[in-house]
Each structure stands twice: as C-alpha cells, then as structure tokens.
Amino acid sequence: MTTIHDILSNNNHRPFALPASPWAYYQEWNKALFLHWKVPHNALRKLVPKELNLDTFENEAYISLVAFTMQNTRPRNLPALKFISDFDEINIRTYVNNNNKPGVYFLSIEAQKYLSVLIARNLSGLPYEKSKIHRTKSEYHSVHSKKGFHFNTKFQVGETLAQKTERDKWLTERYCAYLDYNNVIGRYDIHHKEWNIQDVTLQHLSLQYTLGDITLTTSPDFIHYSEGVKVLAWKRLSVNPSKVSGTTKIYSVLLDDKIIGTTYLEKADPPMGVAFGEIFFKNIPEPYNFIKGYCQSNKIPFSDDLKDKIIMTRDISGLRVIDSSEPEIEIKGLGCSISGASNYSFEITIEGIPYPFYEEEFPHHVNTYKKSNA
C-alpha cells in the first residue's frame, strides 16, 4: 500500500523541488487515457493568459485531452466522501513554464457529477463544468451539449513501456497547474510518483472540441495510457499578485492601528460580499507565531495545527484594511479574519462588505463574476 511518506520520498524525477509547506489535498487519478495533438503556436497563444509562457517540445506546441477517473479526493486529515470525491473527468490542457516550473494550463475541464463540479469550481477556481460522461474498462463517452463538445473512444491497452522518450516525459510529468482566477495568475503545486505508461491502441475515435481557432477532430499525434497515480496537492499560490486586471490598488493591513502588511484583495466572492487576498507581512518574520500569540493574548478564537503551523482565526476586531493611497477609505464588513500556514502564505478575508460600496470598490471582481455566470 502506498503511503504519503512513499509518495513524498519518491521525488528524484521532479523537474523542480517539492514545496516546503505542507500538502493540503489528496486525490487519485486512475485509468488515465492521454491524447496529444500538435497545434499552431499563434492560435494557442490566444487561449492562454499573456502572463504565462507557452512551453514547447522541439519548437512544437501541444494540446492534450486527458480522460480519467478521479477518486478519493479529500482535504488533509479528512476522509473522502465518495458521492463527491469520485467522478469521471475530461480535461483539455496545454503546457506552460513560468520561473522554471513547467506545468499545465487547463483550457476546459468536464466532470460527471454536478455537485463535484460545483464544489471543485468554487473551491479551486479551475474551469470545471458538468458533462454527461460514461466509461467502461475500454471505452469513454462524453457529451457537453452547452459547448458542443463530444468525445467517444474505444481503446485497447498494451504492455508497459520499457523506456519512455523525452517527449513521453515532457507530455506527462508535470508538477503544477496554472490558472487565471479573478484576473490573478495562480499555481497549484502537485506531486506524485512518476507515471507508469503503457502502450494503447485506439480502436475507435470520434471527437469535437473547438477552442478559439483550434478544433480537435482528428486522430492525435501521440497517445498514452496509465493505470494511475496517487497525488498530493498544495494550496493555491498567487504567482503575480501585483498584476490584478482592472485595479492597481494596494491595501494596507492594520492590527490595532499598526501596519503589519499589505494585500491586493485579489480574490472575491461578490454575491456574498467577500474580498480576500494574500498578506505580504512587513517586519513580521514568523506570521504564524505572531497571529497565534495575538489571538491568545486577546482571547480571539482560532484553530491551528502545531505540527504544520497552520492557523485559522475567527473575526479579529482590531484588524482593519484601508486603501494605501487613500487611507480614509476603509474596507469594512461583518468580520475580518486571517488564515494560512508557515512557509507558504497567509490570507486576509473580509466578509459581508455591503453594497453598493462593494461594487464601487471592486468593479473588476463584480464584472468577472457576471461574465463567468452569463
């Protein structure tokens, strides 16, 4: 049986180091079929945020369709709930590389269960959508009527590859996923053992995916199959918190009227009047100890994990957020809290910000939400 320690200790195949912070989620990607197409670089460039660098192999750009079964998805220290955690998925991805961290960028993600889609999309920020999916041991069928996507295939799995090519590794061994959420570029780091790849023959294939100027209807250039991997994932990290589309505002974070850091409030839940973002602490080398000590001294409820130095506070009445350039503008709500982990990042969350102030202060968040739900 594979243990978490086995997964973490098997890491020599990674192109960059494991994150120093504790992992946050466990999941399994099982019975995975990979289809890969070479695509025009210029057409692909239009589909990927300009902040992300397209990655190529021998000057060729690729899009891949990955059809698999997600299982046992769960947060750390909590059990998996099969009616949510187990579902079939199809994602369309391409390849990017920022700061020498090669990863993937998802152009589309389809999943079988509506509840799983709703939770995954809202918690992760990834572009999950509901699709009708049915699979057997050797077949995979899906229809996404809203976008006009369909995928039908029958395949036969062969022997395990004795030796993988550099292209095989380039297409499969990716240890982070980039995303564009609320106009901020983010990254999820992941880790798993190296993919065990098998030969596979397509006995039938019918598909239709149109993404911008790219249409996938023909047989792929390369295919792979794997029985799967057990995966650890880390919390989302903001890659470019200063490049928030539609706003250049920086907010000061004050505790008992003393500035402890700044934030861009780059994330939001407009219907709930929530704004939150990463805190960039000023002259506080150990945020976990600082926050915990403050809460203990002021009898503020909090929960924490001493081993991994993770903390989540309740409302901190002495915590305030103001516009750095216009200090008279304060972002007031029903509550303000901090959560995060040492060696990773901390976030400040303001809940219950009233309208119309919310819409006036965060028009970019409101517009993004309206567009995504149009």
Q: Tell me which residue has tokens 């060729």.
A: 60
Confidence (pLDDT) at 214: 97
Model pLDDT for residues 63-92, shown as the tens digit of each residue:
999 999 999 999 988 899 999 999 999 999
CA distance 136 to 167: 28
242-265 residues labelled b (16+ CB within 10 A) or e (exposed)? ebbbeeebbbbbbbeeeebbbbbb
CA 309 to each of CA 148, 187, 298: distance values in angstroms, whole numbers, following the listed order: 46, 21, 20
| Strand partners for 206 | 152
Confidence (pLDDT) at 125: 87
Pairing of strands 222-233, 25-39: antiparallel
CA distance 283 to 150: 54
Q: Is 303 helix (H, G, I), strand (E, B) or coil?
A: strand
Q: Tell me which residue has tokens 């499969």.
A: 172
Q: Is the pLDDT of residue 20 over 80?
A: no
CA distance 362 to 346: 21
Q: Is the pLDDT of residue 243 over 50?
A: no
CB 102 within 8 A of CB 95: yes
| pTM attached to this predicted model | 0.68
In SS3 terms, 18-79 reads as CCCCCCCEEEEEEEEEEEEEEECHHHHHCCCCCCCCECCECCEEEEEEEEEEEEEEEECCCC
Q: DSSP letter string over 9-20?
A: H--TT-SSPPPS
CA distance 206 to 354: 50
* Amino acid making up residue 193: K
> The tokens of 100 are what?
């020498």
Closest CA to 94 of 81, 84, 104: 104
Q: Is the pLDDT of residue 245 over 60?
A: no
CA distance 157 to 33: 10
CA distance 116 to 95: 25
CA distance 103 to 97: 6
Query: 244: pLDDT confidence band, cut at 50, 70 and 90?
Result: very low
Model pLDDT for residues 266-320, shown as the tens digit of each residue:
888 899 999 988 898 988 888 999 999 999 999 999 998 887 788 999 999 999 9
What share of the chain in percent tops pLDDT 70?
95
Model pLDDT for residues 183-213, shown as the tens digit of each residue:
678 899 999 999 999 999 999 999 999 999 9
Domains of the chain: 4-238 (2.40.400.10), 251-372 (no CATH)
CA distance 33 to 198: 10
Confidence (pLDDT) at 274: 93
Confidence (pLDDT) at 246: 46
Q: Is the pLDDT of residue 5 over 80?
A: yes
Confidence (pLDDT) at 344: 63
Model pLDDT for residues 26-50, shown as the tens digit of each residue:
999 999 999 999 999 999 999 999 8
